[in-house]
Structure 1
Amino acid sequence: MAQATPRTLSASRTRSQVIWAQFRKHRLAVWGARILLVLYTMALFAGFFSTYDANYYETYPPSNNHPPSKIHFRDPDTGAWSRPFVYATKRTLDELTLQPRYIEDKSQGKFYIHFFVRTPDQPYTILRLFRGDLRLLGVDKPGRLFLMGTDNFGRDLWSRIVYGSQVSLTIGILASIVSFILGLALGGVAGFYSGRPATMSLPLTHLFQPGVGARAWLGAAVSTLLWLAIIAGIIAITVQFLQVTHGFSLLSLIVVALAAWAVWGIARGLLWKPIRIDPDDVIMRSVEIQSAIPDLFLLITLRAIFPPSIDALFSFYLITVLLGFIGWGGLARIVRGTVLSTREQDYVTAAQALGASDRRIIAHHILPATATYVIISLSLAVPGAILGESGLSFLGLGIRDPYVSWGLLLQSAQEGGFASFTDRPWVLIPGFFIVLAIVAWNFLGDGLRDAFDPRKRQ
């Protein structure tokens, strides 16, 4: 019996097995996946990995801007190894800088660190479904354990970082999903219907021709109301612009001329000539306009439309939608190009000849051709969404208390001024987690790109 050669064994593997084998060869991508697994596990079980609730603090003894607790592994009296423990601390003020200083108070004894501690006074939920009070680490009261120090209110920074990962990492995933739904849908429509203008209105003069039924009258009424609303919007925006500019100028004349041209074109379509619009032109021109505006400027502008004092939970969903809205253009452009080339393939032509609907052709034949690019781009879009949320929260336009995110923690550090670098550098630790998550996602995206690219397989 002939033995199987390495080439035969390689050829017998499925495509997913080949991709997985190639991905494992990318060591940075593997480490990126491991880091993300740790971060998302930490976010999922934030209550368990945190030592306190995110907003928990004690007014006495005060612990604002407390440095990370010093963990002892040796008994200072005998020098022998012992269980990890911490000492209580006393708060004093520096005579020169008037900054709080904390010194160990050994008179209260040792406070040993325990694993799997129950905290019935600070319960938490997992996915808002399961309640619990078990935490990984803790010390007996009145001892306190601050693994990464505290903020200016005395809240444990490690606990706030862990809870902040829920918001920052979740927004990254959800915003990417929103942008990819928009990019796939609009890019697919733009590519598949390119060169096939759709009639968007039924002129009123056509309704009085013989054979026009009630369905046509209903469609004409709906389209007429829609276009009249658009005309009213154009006029309102033009009037508002003239009021802001206080009088006529060359720019005002250009705006008025464009508005008049748009109103006349719509009115002509409603009365005599039907309005025909190519979806490809509308979608791609929208992408070009969006691409001409810097993402951060557009994000800040869209966020400024809403009042800064909106509900904290609504702010979370708002930031998710805004981040997804500004990120769909690039994907739509690529999907459109892929669809334009795929719709001319023989199997697509055969499906059309067999009577398959456009929806079925797009869903079963066109969009699967973009799957590879979509998977790679999704992994590379998540870090951009995380960075966008962090930037908005840092500027005070994103997540607000009582919720917490990594960007909000950096904003709190920024409010401390230069003292955050000199006297309490631990408040900058959230920035490390932002960088870690972004680098890990980029490594993962690079590995997926190499794994899906046949030219880079070894």
Structure 2
Amino acid sequence: MSEIPSRDRNGKLEHWHSNAPFDPYSVEKLSPEQEKFYMASQWRMMWWKFCRHRVAVISGIILLLFYVSILFSEFLAPYNLHSRDTKHIFAPPQSIHIFHEGELRAPFVYGYRQKLNLDTLRREYREDTSRIYTLRYFCRGDSYKFWGMFETNVHLVCPDDQRRATFFWLGTDRLGRDILSRIIYGTRISLTIGLIGILISFTLGIILGGISGYYGGWIDNVIQRLIELLKSLPQLPLWLALSAALPVTWSPILVFFGLTIILGLLDWPGLARAVRSKFLSLREEDFTTAAQLMGASPSRIIGRHLLPSFASHLIASASLAVPSMILGETALSFLGLGLRPPITSWGVLLNETTNINAVATTPWLMYPVVPVIIIVLAFNFLGDGLRDAADPYK
């Protein structure tokens, strides 16, 4: 016998019993946990299922930290984006230590001792244990304009003496710029371009896919043929062709928006087909017919009745589409056809690794690929968790 809830005259869930003949002595009062479960909304139940997916929860926390960090990039970076130390070109990463000769100390780094290799004409660095640079927190260092509004020089961490001390945790590049600071600054551009691009692609995909699935007929045929045309074109060469068509005289900010629009305009067909297939099935449901008979306009039916019916699917699709935007920007910038300096993104940083000799002698230039891998994996794990939470059969 299955057990069903019963309610009092006010509609409050109070008891539960089997569907056997009613027995007043067998009625049991619902516990607060059972009442909470039976009265939970669909979104709350999705949240409970998502919380049980530990990998997705951890991925969501990682992504949240990354996106919060873009609000404070200047503060988190040890150095200004354009600060150069010509005395430490291609300097290797400095390790953080807490022990010196067996003695516990505050976190510090050892200084560099360098010499010029006359055979290779390259600078060679090694740790100088006689130079100890203690790390300070909430300290004053390079000046910057926070979000371009007011000037300050407060950083989260920096060495104790900016004039002679160095703190290059991930090393420096060919101009003596701190790799860690540039990665932190590049996070803002790389993550923002994914959000703006997905906003454009989702707007086009939902509008065109909704119109195609709801109206059908010749409108559906035109939109589907357009989707097939875009799908038949190889994606990467199309990205390269359109990116190369951007005028070289454009300012970096115009190139940023141009590249974002290109990525958004080429990513909507997949979502449009998913929306169309959903609308083809939902438009035959009774609630859609009832809304039509009550005089609701097509835009109201689509926006208030059809889209909310599979909003969870759209959320999962968005979380899986953002990584493709980030990878697209990284690939184009890596090939020199995307963003250009002085704009800094992960792809722009990786552009310096196109020379295999630089990678062989200075492997720390490859560090910008680490956040790319972390973000892509986190978005994919988050998308899996959202998809499982939105599935009513799981």
TM-score, with normalisation over the residues of structure 2?
Answer: 0.87
Paired residue for 1:431?
369
Name the amino acid aligned to 1:299.
W
Q: After TM superposition, give the deviation of residue 69 of structure 1 in Å.
A: 1.6
Selected match of 2:123 from 57, 80, 100: 100
- Residue 55 (structure 2) pairs with residue 32 (structure 1): no
Q: After TM superposition, give the deviation of residue 152 of structure 1 in Å.
A: 0.8
Paired residue for 1:41?
68
- Residue 320 (structure 2) pairs with residue 300 (structure 1): no
Paired residue for 2:46?
19
Name the amino acid aligned to 1:339.
F
Q: Quick one: distance in 1 between partners of 2:367 and 2:185?
A: 14
Structure of greater relative contact order (alpha carbons < 8 Å, 6+ residues apart): 1
Paired residue for 1:259?
none
Cα pair distance change 1:190/1:115, threshold 3 Å:
same
Cα pair distance change 1:365/1:130, threshold 3 Å:
farther
Q: Over the residues paired in the alignment, what is the CA RMSD in angstroms?
A: 1.9
Paired residue for 1:256?
none
Q: Which runs of 4+ in 1 moved over 3 A?
A: 5-9, 103-107, 128-132
Q: Answer 1 or 2: which has greater strand percent.
A: 2
Paired residue for 2:111?
88
Contact 1:54 1:159 in 2 (8 A): yes
Give structure 1 stretches of 5+ with no counterpart.
196-277
Cα pair distance change 1:7/1:84, threshold 3 Å:
closer
Q: Answer 1 or 2: which has greater helix percent.
A: 1
Q: After TM superposition, give the deviation of residue 345 of structure 1 in Å.
A: 2.1
Paired residue for 2:153?
133
Q: After TM superposition, give the deviation of residue 73 of structure 1 in Å.
A: 2.2
Task: Tell me the secondary structure at the aligned position of residue 143 of structure 2.
Answer: coil
- Residue 187 (structure 2) pairs with residue 165 (structure 1): yes
Selected match of 2:144 from 123, 126, 130: 123
Q: Quick one: distance in 2 between partners of 1:300 and 1:327?
A: 15
Q: Quick one: distance in 2 between partners of 1:81 and 1:187?
A: 63
Contact 2:214 2:283 in 1 (8 A): yes
Q: Which has the larger radius of gyration?
A: 1
Cα pair distance change 1:352/1:16, threshold 3 Å:
closer
For 1:308-327, list aligned pairs within 5 A.
308-327=248-267
Paired residue for 2:28?
2
Paired residue for 2:23?
none
Q: Quick one: distance in 2 between partners of 1:46 and 1:397?
A: 25
Name the amino acid aligned to 2:174.
N
Paired residue for 1:272?
none
Task: Tell me the secondary structure at the aligned position of residue 105 of structure 2.
Answer: strand
TM-score, with normalisation over the residues of structure 1?
Answer: 0.76
Give aligned-pair identity as a percent: 41
Deviates more, 1:45-54 or 1:351-360: 351-360
For 1:281-296, list aligned pairs within 5 A.
281-296=221-236
1:170-198 per-position Cα deviation (integer Å, ceiling 9, x unaligned): 11111111100000011111112212xxx
Q: After TM superposition, give the deviation of residue 129 of structure 1 in Å.
A: 4.8
Q: Quick one: distance in 2 between partners of 1:70 and 1:366?
A: 56
Q: Quick one: distance in 1 between partners of 2:321 and 2:129?
A: 51
